Amino acid sequence: MTDSPLTSQIPNLPQSLHYYPAFLPQPTSSTLLQKILQTPKPKWTHLSHRRLQSYPTSLTATTNTLITPPSSSPPLPEWLTEPMIPRMQELNIWAGAPHGAPNHVLVNEYLPGRGILPHEDGGAYWPVVGTVSLGGVIVLDVYEKRMGGGKGRRVGRVLLEDGSLLVTTGDMYTSYLHGIAEVTVDEDLGPETIANWELLGDKDRFKGGRSERGARISLTYRDVLKVVKVGGGFLRK
Ligand SMILES: O=C(O)CCC(=O)C(=O)O
Ligand SMILES: [Fe+2]
Interface ipTM: 0.98
Q: How far is CA 187 from the centre of its chain?
A: 22
Q: What are the beta bridge partners of residue 109?
A: 51, 217
Residue 31, SS3? helix
Please give the distance, rounded to the nearest whole angstrom, from the Cα atom of residue 74 to the centre of ligand 1. 24
For residue 121, the ligand 1 atom closest to its alpha carbon is 10
Ligand 1 atom with the smallest distance to the CA of 220 is 9
Whether ligand 1 lies within 6 angstroms of the CB of 222 is answered as: no
Distance CA 219, CA 10 (A): 20
Task: Report CA(209)–ligand 1 centroid distance (Å).
Answer: 24
Q: Which pLDDT score, from 0 to 100, does residue 66 have? A: 92
Would the CB of 218 count as within 6 Å of ligand 1? Answer: yes
Query: For a substitution probing ligand 1, which of 109, 120, 138, 140 has the most ligand atoms within 8 Å of its CB?
Result: 140
Beta-strand ranges (E) seen in 43-122 are 45-46, 51-55, 66-68, 104-110, 116-119
User: Could you say which architecture CATH assigns to the domain 17-229?
Assistant: Sandwich (2.60)
pLDDT value at position 2?
53
In Å, what is the CA distance from 84 to each residue of 46, 109, 181, 228?
26, 19, 27, 24
For residues 182 and 202, what is the distance between their CA atoms, to the nearest angstrom?
A: 24
What pLDDT shows up at residue 5?
Answer: 44
Q: Are 213 and 113 in contact (CB under 8 A)?
A: yes
178 CA to centre of ligand 2 in angstroms? 6
Ligand 1 atom nearest 138 alpha carbon: 3
Q: Is 141 in the pocket of ligand 1 (CB under 6 A)?
A: no
Best mutation site among 218, 221, 224 for ligand 1 pocket (most ligand atoms within 8 Å of CB)? 218
Closest among 107, 96, 103 to 173, alpha carbons compared: 96
Note down pLDDT in tens along the chain; length 237 residues.
554 545 899 999 999 999 999 999 999 999 999 999 999 998 999 998 899 999 998 999 999 999 987 665 668 999 999 999 999 999 999 999 999 999 999 999 999 999 999 999 999 999 999 999 999 999 999 999 999 889 999 999 999 999 999 999 999 999 999 999 999 999 999 999 999 999 999 999 999 999 999 999 999 999 999 999 886 544 444
Phi and psi torsions of 231, nearest 5°: -95, -165
pLDDT recorded at residue 163: 98
Domain boundaries, the chain: 17-229
Q: What is the whole-number distance in angstroms between the Cα of residue 120 and the centre of ligand 2? A: 6
CB 202 within 8 Å of CB 25:
no
